Structure 1
Amino acid sequence: MDKIAVVILNWNGVKLLEQFLPSVLQYSEEATIYVADNASTDTSVNFVRENFPSIKIIQNTGNYGFAKGYNEALQSVDAEIYALINSDIEVTENWLKPIIETFDKEKETAIIQPKILDFKNKEYFEYAGAAGGFIDKYGFPFCRGRIFDTIEKDNGQYNDNCKLFWASGACFFIRKEVYHTLGGFDEIFFAHQEEIDLCWRAANEGHTIKYNSKSVVYHVGGATLQQGNPKKTYLNFRNSLLMLVKNLPKKGLFFVIFFRMILDGVAGIRFLTQGKFGHTFAILKAHFSFYCLSLKYLSKRKDFQIQQYYTVKSIVFLYYIKKLGVFKEIFNSNQNIKN
């Protein structure tokens, strides 16, 4: 069994592979590298075979999205640690070493995220993960270094190793045993929020999620679905509600979901006033899909859920009403984050 496997999920991303595989190959000597292809119709598979013969190729039989794509591919990967990275990630020298050291020293740590900076503006954190993720009481995710659309410059303010609630799927390290014991990603999610759901399920089982600033990667972001894409809005809103049904503590379950749906309605009205009709429709569609799936997801609930899953009651209130957009402003010098 390998110590660590770097697994890159790809769908019609030959240009991204051409641009970013060289850094992965150069700086990942500790790992076996895989490209897991979701039935691409471009020249991705042939490109990897011809130009990177040392990289192993896993060919899925369909475009299964992020969740099922990884679930299918990882059945063929035998390693103690999975490093799941997007095809638009540039890695840096020694990016794997601090991750491996943390897993070796901290047996309770099951999932780790590195520092994720913006490939296009390398002094700033990147939207999808930044310096590690948390959620509020109603399931809205946010990060150290990124609150909604406010993104911080990296001034070393998050050069630490702290506990998180969720780690970004853009660059996601997890122990093989934990991944398979938890059943992998929820395949109905297809893409978006599936890593938060997996981390929440891991936390419910007593596992620890960590951030390690000594490992640094650069992420392009939005290479598959742009931030303003209504499909992305649909998946984010639907999957967030499904995640809440599965993982919320029993006490207050229906109140939290009901209030979250009200907040979703406010978001829909806001999109409407901005003329973003596709996003308003996407939220309506997300709620309809949620209604259809809610009973099935109630049956997925486990016997135990952690009670203190959230770090603030409402990040929406703090950001839009109190106008707080920097993580340390909200948390008063990290008083609520425990190392």
Structure 2
Amino acid sequence: MLPYDQVAVVILNYNGKHFLEQFLDSVIQNSNNARIIVADNASTDGSVEWLSKNQPSVEVIVLDKNYGFTGGYNRALAQVESKYFVLLNSDIEVPENWLTPMLELMESDDRIAACQPKIKLFSEKKYFEHAGAAGGFIDYMGYPFCRGRIMHTLEEDKGQYDDTREIFWATGACLFIQSKLYHQMEGLDERFFAHMEEIDLCWRLKSAGYKIMTVGNSEVYHVGGGTLSRDNPKKTYLNFRNGLFLLFKNLPTKHLLPSIFIRMVLDGIAGIRFLFKSEMANFLAVIKSHRDFYLSLRYLICQRKKIPEKRLFFDQVYKRLIVSEYFLKSRKKFSDLQDIESLK
């Protein structure tokens, strides 16, 4: 008998009443006896009132302001007692039996810290979705990619990723995680605010000796882009800044300075490209991201010291540059990449 009652599905909401109206019923109906909780980041669209009136069985945690993805979840999960948490985006539809394969896997091995299902497009369910696809990896410059998604190219799901296997990071869009490990790792790093924070958490878990998995016989359907569009300068800023945060916190010392230097050069090239395209707001976002990285160095050094040097995890980091593989060598699929055996 699986302990569904020890699973808390926690949906972080900020002005997403329209998503709750559309998708919350599927979560309630298809999650067996798991607890369903909505943590509200001080929405102003009537989300809390709607929940009280229309979904009285759902637990609601009301936060006093918008703490972002990281701070919102940290504060909400501090109030939830459960063996497992499932961090679930509000813009996700879940089918029947989505939870069972993940719970079975987590119960089978306490060295598995977290897992994810396949993440597929809500609008075109035969394709993988950007935020996690069939499990995430990063290259040595900190650029993330997935089985089923490299850069902005999405693969069609033809069963090629139906296996259950170890990965480098699991998506925050649907993250099934041991609660005790979430708290031991001090949760999501709130300096990230949003974007790449789950990669940082998974990297820290790997450095602590735990496994991150993808579950090929579970899937959910994600709308995506619900908060910030791809070209939003705020998203540009967070992606560039957080990429540097991620590398500085987690890379082994011998790889740290070369990787940071090369990453900054690549960021500079991207910034110049924004300038030539007359995307001044994105150009300034890159500059601001580097400024704030330097201003955060004291904090990052303190965080880095929490992980003993000998435990800093570098296995399963892709030793080639994914940007080069994609743009220069036209390798658009995970199976096209060279040296992917190093990721197993």
TM exceeding 0.5: yes
Aligned-pair CA distance for 1:110: 0.6
CA-to-partner distance for each residue in 1:118-149, whole Å, 9 max, x for gaps? 00111110011101100001100001111101
Q: 2:324 aligns with which of 308, 313, 317?
A: 317
Map of 1:182 onto structure 2: 185
Give the match's secondary structure for 2:337.
helix
Give the match's secondary structure for 1:93.
coil
How do residues 321-336 of structure 1 correspond to structure 2 at under 5 angstroms?
321-331=328-338, 335-336=341-342
How do residues 19-38 of structure 1 correspond to structure 2 at under 5 angstroms?
19-38=22-41
The question of whether the paired residues in 2 share the 8 Å contact of 1:7 and 1:34 is answered with yes
Give the match's secondary structure for 1:190.
coil
Equivalent AA in structure 2 for residue 137 of structure 1? Y
Q: Which portions of structure 1, spanning 4 or more consecutive aligned residues, are displaced by more than 4 angstroms? A: none
Task: Name the stretch that deviates more: 203-212 or 99-108.
Answer: 99-108
Map of 2:272 onto structure 1: 269
How do residues 80-99 of structure 1 correspond to structure 2 at under 5 angstroms?
80-99=83-102
Task: Name the stretch that deviates more: 252-261 or 194-203.
Answer: 252-261
Equivalent AA in structure 1 for residue 211 of structure 2? T
Equivalent AA in structure 2 for residue 268 of structure 1? G
Give the match's secondary structure for 2:60.
strand
Q: Distance in 1 between matches of 2:129 and 2:157?
A: 10
Q: Distance in 1 between matches of 2:156 and 2:55?
A: 35
Give the match's secondary structure for 1:214.
strand
1:46 aligns with 2:49: yes
In structure 1, stretches of 5+ residues that fail to align are: none
Provide the aligned C-alpha RMSD in A.
Answer: 1.3
TM-score normalised over the length of structure 2:
0.95
Map of 2:111 onto structure 1: 108
In structure 2, stretches of 5+ residues that fail to align are: none
The question of whether the paired residues in 1 share the 8 Å contact of 2:316 and 2:342 is answered with no
1:211 aligns with 2:211: no
Q: Distance in 1 between matches of 2:296 and 2:235?
A: 19
Map of 2:257 onto structure 1: 254
| Identity over aligned pairs, percent | 51
Q: Distance in 2 between matches of 1:291 and 1:255?
A: 16
Q: Distance in 2 between matches of 1:178 and 1:270?
A: 41
Aligned-pair CA distance for 1:254: 1.1
Q: How many residues align?
A: 337
The question of whether the paired residues in 2 share the 8 Å contact of 1:135 and 1:312 is answered with no
Aligned-pair CA distance for 1:312: 3.2
Aligned-pair CA distance for 1:309: 4.7
Q: Distance in 2 between matches of 1:310 and 1:263?
A: 18
The question of whether the paired residues in 2 share the 8 Å contact of 1:30 and 1:96 is answered with no
